[in-house]
Amino acid sequence: MSVPLALSDTRRARVVEVFSSLQGEGPFVGERQVFVRLGGCNLHCDYCDEPETIPIPSGEVWTAERVKAAVLRLTAKRAHRAISWTGGEPLLHPAFLEPLMRWARSRGLENYLETNGTRPAAMRALAPLCGVVAMDVKLPSATGRACWDLHRAFLEESPRGTFAKIVLAENSTDAELRRAIALLKSAPRRPLLVLQPATPFAGARPMPPARVLRWEDAARRAGLKTLVAPQWHHFWGLR
């Protein structure tokens, strides 16, 4: 069964896996979450740590009822505060996610959305249901394309509880930092900025620590609340 790139079906989508683990990135690092990893991505970043999720199609077709059953099995074993809807790019599947996010809230679970920040229309539809949005700011040096306009439109639609993450690789440029700072300062709800040194074994060489600290200082001086936080789940050997 073939599922299109921009899924409009509320009943099924391509899912890679559903599992329980600790959040390994950003300000909620170490929190126990259920992860629903959807298949397919509209970008191909050179530092991607889930490259098997990029191809269209990837994963297998799951119904919404199968996702719910998997979540309930995991939450019956231990307490979880949130579901992380991740990928790939979960906002390729907004029609599938909307009823699932409503269901998650009815079960007392917060919706934590991990996204590349390039699907503003999908974000508009799901914003009222999201407690946390982890938005990547994609630098052209990593993606091979500029996403600034899409990011600006995305920030117009993103809800309170959004934070922005920039992965810092050896080839990230100071000009990109200046552009990213200007982008975030102009957002209607200025987000927390998380600077994440690239994971060495995820396809890119990390930015040297001294340069990371210069970026952190520049962001703070520009008025952005800023956190430096690497990916921890890879060092822990967790998914």
pLDDT tier, 194 (very low <50, low <70, confident <90, very high otherwise): very high
| pLDDT higher than 50, residue 5 | no
Span 12-230 CATH architecture: Alpha-Beta Barrel (3.20)
List pLDDT tens digits, range 184-193. 999 999 999 9
Tell me the average pLDDT across 10-19.
Answer: 92
The values of phi and psi at residue 106, to 5°, are -65, -20
Q: Using DSSP bridges, classify how beta strands 162-168 and 132-136 pair: parallel, antiparallel or unpaired.
A: parallel
Strand (E) positions, the chain? 12-22, 32-38, 60-63, 82-86, 110-115, 132-136, 162-168, 192-197, 226-228
Q: Which of 150, 161, 164 lies closest to 120 in space, CA to CA?
A: 150
Residue spans per domain, the chain? 12-230
Q: What is the CA angle 153-180-98, rounded to 5? A: 35
List pLDDT tens digits, range 27-71. 999 999 999 999 988 877 767 666 666 556 778 999 999 999 999
User: pTM of the predicted model, to two decimals?
Assistant: 0.92
